[in-house]
Amino acid sequence: MQLQKYRHPFWFYGLSVFIPWSCWFIWAWLSHSPYWENPATVLLGNVLGLIGLCTPFCVAMIFILPDGAMRRELSFAIFNLKGIRPVYWALTIFLFPLSILLAQAISLLFGYSPTQFRIVERMSFSSGIFPAWFLLILAPILEEFGWHTYGIHCLRRRFKLFTTSILFGAIWGIWHIPLSFVKGYYQNVLVETGAIYSVNFLASLIPYAIIGNWLYYKTGRNMFLVVLFHLLAGYSNEVFQTHPDSKIIQTTLLLIFSAVLILREKAFFFSTSHDAEELQGSD
């Protein structure tokens, strides 16, 4: 892999944060304004929301598509499914469903209700004209085809994988901040529920980034697994009647898992090599 080609982190992250922030803060203002009763305003707000969601993908494609070598690497990342060990498939599919179930089980020891294990009748948040379930599918596709086709590589070009994951988790958290002000949206529901749950959401992005990037490079930069990992993370936290405190327990479990993973894979996470191919498959 030619990481030297991914040389514009400031442009990529600058545009990928500035444009969504601009769109989403306008959307947030509209959602709390008297104009929100007008269907045209709701439509405008949702269009602004979608523009912000698409931005990292669009910026990544602007950098990637003109370059033949980068296009080939993108094609490889999309279509290559060979040689992926079963353990990586298992972690991709089961990590988040099992972690939220375990977190709920632990919460029972502290007196929380077993009704958490019931399937929800509707999602915990609204998203305007788009069904919440639709965004839970669309967001992983658009986000990961931005973050993991250019965003992660342009950081990895300069930093060790551990540092890359921490930086990305922090930037991704910053990217989400304006959504905390959009009335009825997932991050806004967290704010209304309690500040500690918003902090937990931001904290959960760190183990997510560490585990997700580990899987990404271990599977030869496979985009299908990255999108599936993101999708299952979102759905696992919405499909049950989970108490918000159980999500804090889940974050703790994922942080412990991440710490064990880092200790077990020190060479993988702290290699000074900037060649992503050398990271892949170093079991």
Average pLDDT over the chain reads 91
Is the whole-model pTM more than 0.85?
Answer: yes
Closest CA relative to residue 202, chosen from 175, 229, 163: 175
Closest CA relative to residue 18, chosen from 139, 143, 175: 175
Residue 135: per-residue pLDDT:
82
Residue 125: per-residue pLDDT:
61
Residue 132: per-residue pLDDT:
74
Please state, as a whole number, how many other Cβ atoms lie within 10 Å of the Cβ of residue 274. Answer: 17
SS3 283: coil
Sign of CA dihedral 58, 60, 66, 70: negative
Residue 209: per-residue pLDDT:
97
Closest CA relative to residue 243, chosen from 106, 126, 95: 106
- pLDDT above 80 for 203: yes
Q: What is the mean pLDDT of residues 227-234?
A: 95
Whole-number Cα distances in Å, 198 to 151, 165, 170, 204:
24, 20, 14, 10
- pLDDT above 70 for 128: no
For residues 271 and 283, give the distance between their C-alpha atoms in angstroms, rounded to a whole number: 14
Whole-number Cα distances in Å, 75 to 5, 81, 98, 223, 256:
16, 12, 32, 10, 34
- Asked if residues 28 and 177 have their Cβ atoms less than 8 Å apart, the reply is no
